[in-house]
Amino acid sequence: MKKHYFIWFTLVFCLVSPAQADNDLSSLQLNVSDLTQLYQSNNGFVWLKNQQLTVQAHDAFEFIANAPLHGFKLSDYHYDLLNHLDPEQSKTQARQFDLLLSDGLLKLTKHVAVGKYSPAELEPDWHIPQAKFDALTFIQQALSEGKLKQQLNSLIPSVMGYQVLGSALARYQTYVDSGGWPIIADAPLLKSGDKHVIIPNVRARLNISQTGLLATPPSPKLFDDKLVLAVKQFQQQHGLKIDGVIGSETRQAMNVSAQQRVEQIKLNLERARWLPKDLGQRYVMVNIPNFNLTAVENGQQKLSMKVIVGKKHRPTPIITSQISHLVLHPYWNVPKRLAKLDLLPKQQQDPNYFYLKNIRVYQYQRGQRNEIDAYRIDWHELNTQRFPYSLRQDPGEDNALGQMKFFMKNPWDIYLHDTPNKALFDDSKRNYSSGCIRLEDPAALAAFSVRNMMTDTALAAAIASGKNQWHKLKTPINLYTTYFTVWTDNNRLTFSPDSYNRDKL
């Protein structure tokens, strides 16, 4: 109780003026409980000695000063007040400085470590658990070990090129401060050699955000070769079809304002903070917006491939699980919803559809599942409300899961699998599935998964056998499906289309 009173008295009665005390205190939102515990054994000061800043105080202040690199406001961590106070002037200011530095650091360490917000506040479909973090214990331990700076830096995430994103945020903020970039007006499809009034604005737009200034040619409205190259670079950076043609999608991406890009980077920094610090020795990560999968072992990327993910109205959820089994030549137990919405209309249109696709029909009768002859059913009498059957597709060339699937337990029945329709991987946007994740190169992921339990020769023979087989992995592999619309690829900033409209908060 005495310590609570001391903190309250120091902040209410010892600020620069009574008016400032009223205004500042109401917005400080101090963590009085943690502050009380922190100061129980520090005789009123944690960061000062003889009213002089210690080395740890400088480290703590520097960490707070870098809050904007994480997308945070300095004012949330008392930065301006700390700059205003001079501990050497009086013990009153020294106590204020010490308390505010403690409170600011308590807040910032937690925000950097696990995020400022709960995923449920911003992304209801984010189902990766948010880690717990005790800022008070962290700071006390770091101070007692004399490794504050090292420990503070250890909180900074390493996933998705987090620190590069922070630097990009600062750069894009300078674009905002300079007035942003010009809007590209609607126009017909423009290709190399075309002339149009929007070309000067396109050139000016790209000159702002891309390296290598584009000089204005003698004919400013000409879509010249250098501009074609710059447009291709822009398209690659923004997850668009790389054809050097200015169409509606490319114009739309160019017209996302600098301020919108700043907010987008901030949101993706927060998403990175929601991920576990330790993703595992071996893990697979799917980034839904850029339709890509990576497999990592001991911090080194071993695989990268294209994937197909869920449609906007049947999205792939953001989850974590473990790949526990490799299933070769799998049966496809058709989810009830897909059976009613997708396959029933095809069977109604063509009574041979199930036969040709090796799809069997089952019905539970007296507690037993019995196979029913599809030709004896009047499919036109059925609908989405009345569908008493279950469907299963046999292994084979037409099987929707292809030659293999990677099983992982989860409430959504989501898994990774092969597909017989390889042509879809040529598309730049690949939102085609009903939630599961189709793989461009499933054999490569299979080799990665069973490397410590099967030789390449044994795996190839198992695949060639054509038999349904379940192979339990000796060590399950962590799997993360994520949603990053901004990330780095070899330290290159990359944007992806927001296919699920998750960035529009």
Q: Catalytic residues, which ones?
A: 417, 436
Q: What is the per-residue burial (b if ≥16 Cβ within 10 Å, else e) of 270-293?
A: bbbbbbbeebbebbbbbbbbbbbb
In angstroms, the CA 480 to CA 77 distance is 32
The one-letter amino acid code at 329 reads H
Q: What are the structure tokens assigned to 39, written together? A: 């100061």
What pairs with residue 370 in β-bridges?
Answer: 363
Contacts of 255 (CB under 8 A, 6+ apart): 183, 184
Give the Cα-Cα-Cα angle 110, 114, 117 (nearest 5 degrees): 90
- Nearest Cα residue to 181 out of 154, 153, 201: 201
Tell me if 48 sits within 8 A of 87, measured CB to CB. Answer: yes
Phi, psi dihedral angles at 409 (to 5 degrees): -75, 130
In angstroms, the CA 486 to CA 253 distance is 13
Containing 459, the helix (H) or strand (E) segment is: helix 456-464
**Axis crossing angle, helix 2-13 with helix 18-28, rounded to the nearest 10:** 130
Residue that is written with structure tokens 């526990």 in the block: 324
Give the Cα-Cα-Cα angle 104, 110, 111 (nearest 5 degrees): 85
The one-letter amino acid code at 71 reads G
In angstroms, the CA 445 to CA 451 distance is 10
